[in-house]
Chains A and B, each alone.
Chain A
């Protein structure tokens, strides 16, 4: 029997929303579904290595300096309070034994979840493949996502 598919667009780079995306992705994989997470826009910060900046021209470099990279440096969509919110959130998550985003990435990969990077955002933000963590499964565009979503039982935009 062919596996049922679950696809997600991860547009947000907010810690809370990214957590929801990973919780659903890892659970779907555990339920025997084939899972693909398509990261775009701010969502790419999750898969970017921690770097001061990146980009090819001045504007891109400015943008990517402010747009902090790294799965353990994501802001909160609410109560960010200049980074105090996420710091407190991480303590609370630890107390509740909820995995961190970097741990969720590893877990997702272990469960066979595919991580896809949007080439449009990649292009206009001036990223290079070296800016991203190892283990990205595919660099692709909207058509790839839509072709997958058409066949998927469940598809989300987060």
Chain B
């Protein structure tokens, strides 16, 4: 999937990937897509939950050998 901004959360545990995502989304432009790479499995359910709570769009994720890649589109400020 195409992304505009990448966020490396390798080796970070909950809640750091979510907190870093929130910080990153804040400085992004509307319409841009953020790609978060993490190793903490919690992100699979945490990222959609965060998107639901904050009103951003969760575009889905992929998993490969213990690496999780999730995509979020900023749709509001």
Cβ of B14 under 8 Å from chain A: yes
Q: A107-B19, A111-B19 are in contact. Are A30 and B13 (CB under 8 A)?
A: no
* Nearest chain A residue, comparing its CB with the CB of B10: A97
Residues of A with C-beta under 8 A to B3: none
Closest Cβ of chain A to B44, distance in Å, is 16
Residues of B with C-beta under 8 A to A23: 14-15
Q: Are B11 and A30 in contact (CB under 8 A)?
A: no
Cβ of B7 under 8 Å from chain A: no
Q: A31-B22, A31-B50, A31-B53 are in contact. Are A26 and B12 (CB under 8 A)?
A: no
Q: Are A97 and B12 in contact (CB under 8 A)?
A: yes
Q: What 1/0 flags go to B8-27 for Cβ under 8 Å of A?
A: 00011111101101110000
Return the contact of B18 from the options A27, A33, A99, A107 (Cβ within 8 A).
Answer: A27
Q: Are B19 and A30 in contact (CB under 8 A)?
A: yes
Residues of A with C-beta under 8 A to B54: 31-32
Q: Are A30 and B18 in contact (CB under 8 A)?
A: yes
Q: Would you call the interface of chain B mostly helix, strand, loop, or mixed?
A: helix
Cα distance A102–B22 when bound, in Å?
Answer: 21
Cα distance A111–B26 when bound, in Å?
Answer: 12
Q: Are B21 and A30 in contact (CB under 8 A)?
A: yes
Cα distance A27–B43 when bound, in Å?
Answer: 13
| Interfacial residues, chain A to chain B (CB-CB below 8 A) | 23, 26-27, 29-33, 96-99, 107, 111
| Interfacial residues, chain B to chain A (CB-CB below 8 A) | 11-16, 18-19, 21-23, 50, 53-54
Q: Could you jot down 16 A-B contacts, CB within 8 Å?
A: A23-B14, A26-B19, A27-B14, A27-B18, A29-B22, A30-B19, A30-B21, A30-B50, A31-B22, A31-B54, A96-B13, A97-B11, A97-B12, A98-B16, A99-B16, A107-B19
Given A26-B15, A31-B22, 8 more pairs with CB closer than 8 A: A30-B22, A31-B18, A31-B50, A31-B53, A31-B54, A97-B11, A98-B13, A111-B22
